[in-house]
Amino acid sequence: MSGGGMEWSESPRETAHRELFEETGLTATVGEVAGVYSRWFPAEESVRRVSGHFVGILFHASEISGQLRAEFGDLDTTDGAGWFPIDGIETLPHVEFVDFALELVAGGA
């Protein structure tokens, strides 16, 4: 997911559930934490030209349902959400958080 963030008083698990639906139209049972990614980024790497700290929490999920949809338009949304074979993801444009998730999958997380 791209551009998402926690709402005030929302738990990380609640955020994951809400963002999954907002960005893809899907719902899921959000399970245990699979991993935590943390990265400081300088302003020149930011679309908003402001430095910051990205913390991404990756959860296991099950019972996925709903109609997959993609949102297009602004810079704060996921463009082209879809299902892809895991062995082809590295060839698609993506953020470092995706590489982190792929490493967890490869390691059996």
What pLDDT is recorded for position 77? Answer: 53
What pLDDT is recorded for position 2? Answer: 42
What pLDDT is recorded for position 78? Answer: 57
Query: Token digits for 100?
Result: 């982190």
Relative to beta strand 52-66, strand 26-41 is antiparallel
- Contacts of residue 69, Cβ cutoff 8 Å, sequence gap at least 6: 24, 25, 81
Give the model confidence (pLDDT) of 5-62 as tens digits.
Answer: 889 999 999 999 998 888 888 999 999 999 999 999 999 988 888 899 989 999 999 9
Give the model confidence (pLDDT) of 51-87 as tens digits.
Answer: 999 899 999 999 999 988 866 555 455 566 788 888 8
